């Protein structure tokens, strides 16, 4: 399923998965893109199909990468 997923981060911003772009983008409430995670691949920080997202209270983000069969964690700012 290539639909985007969202998660609200601890800082109030929103993370949006872009499965077809192999990345996750962080947006401010005003809609400004402020950070991008990922690129195509199977290495550290790379995605094959980023789908499910979950934010934690510390500002981190968990990303389910369906194509690579893993979940990755990205620390908050």
| DSSP letters for 35-50 | EEE--BSSSTT-BSSE
pLDDT for the residue numbered 2: 81
Does residue 43 have a pLDDT over 90?
yes
CB-based contacts of 37, cutoff 8 Å, min separation 6: 23, 24, 25, 26, 45, 61, 63, 74
pTM for this one? 0.90
Quick one: fold of 6-74?
Answer: Thrombin, subunit H (2.40.10)
Polymer length in residues for the chain: 77
The residue to which tokens 């893109």 are assigned: 33
Cβ count near 64 (within 10 Å) = 18
Three-state SS at 9: coil
| pLDDT tens for each residue of 51-66 | 899 999 999 999 999 9
Sorted by where each begins, the domain ranges of the chain are 6-74
């Amino acid at each position: 399923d290539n639909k985007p997923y969202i998660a609200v981060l601890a800082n109030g911003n929103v993370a949006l998965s872009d499965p077809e772009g192999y990345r996750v983008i962080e947006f401010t409430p005003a809609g400004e893109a402020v950070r991008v995670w990922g690129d195509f691949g199977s290495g550290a920080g790379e995605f094959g199909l980023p789908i499910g997202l979950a934010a934690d209270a510390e500002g981190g983000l968990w990303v389910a990468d369906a194509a690579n069969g893993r979940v990755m964690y990205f620390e908050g700012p």
